[in-house]
Amino acid sequence: MDWTGFLGATMLWVKAAHIIFVIFFIAGLFMMPRFFVYHHQCPVGSEEDKKWIEREDRLRRIILNPSIILVWVLGLMLAFNGDYWREGWLHAKIFFVLLLSAYHGWVVGYAKKLAKGERRLSEKQLRLLNEIPGIAAAIIVILVVVRP
């Protein structure tokens, strides 16, 4: 085990926490578009509409936003600790994490539009968008584990 770097023996705990919050983050990114599909099915202004607005808000506040912050903080700690900045796999990983972060921003923005009664996308489009986190997660895992 390599205990070098400023994290020392805590490195494995930081790595474990990073993985845990990545799981929470990806789970939230899977859930939110699925919520949107169900939200689209209820009339604007109905009691069900209000319930979906609250569910989406809770998912954002309790899972998505805290998770993305912790994923970035812990991931950067690991990158600095391992001095991986010259590694091509890290650059590619950061690129895909930036794409996921942008997707997170879109998800949050779309939830706000739904809360205002705007429904710009079809349920089919939302189902397709729901594939983005899974594809990105698979690519990121391959980059980190295989380090091509």
| CB contact at 8 A, 140 and 96 | yes
Q: How far is CA 14 from the centre of its chain?
A: 18
Sequence-distant (≥ 6) Cβ neighbours of residue 67 within 8 angstroms: 21, 22, 24, 25, 28
Domain-located, residue 3: no
Domain-located, residue 79: yes
Query: What residue ranges of the chain have pLDDT lower than 70?
Result: 1-3
| pLDDT score of 101 | 97
Query: Which helix (H) or strand (E) covers residue 79, if one does?
Result: helix 65-82
Query: Does the annotation place 112 within a ligand binding site?
Result: no
How does pLDDT run across 72-110, given as a tens digit for each residue? 999 999 999 999 999 999 999 999 999 999 999 999 999
Show the domain range for 39: 8-146
As for how many domains the chain has, the answer is: 1
Domain-located, residue 1: no
Domain-located, residue 2: no
Domain-located, residue 40: yes
Query: Does the annotation place 93 within a ligand binding site?
Result: yes
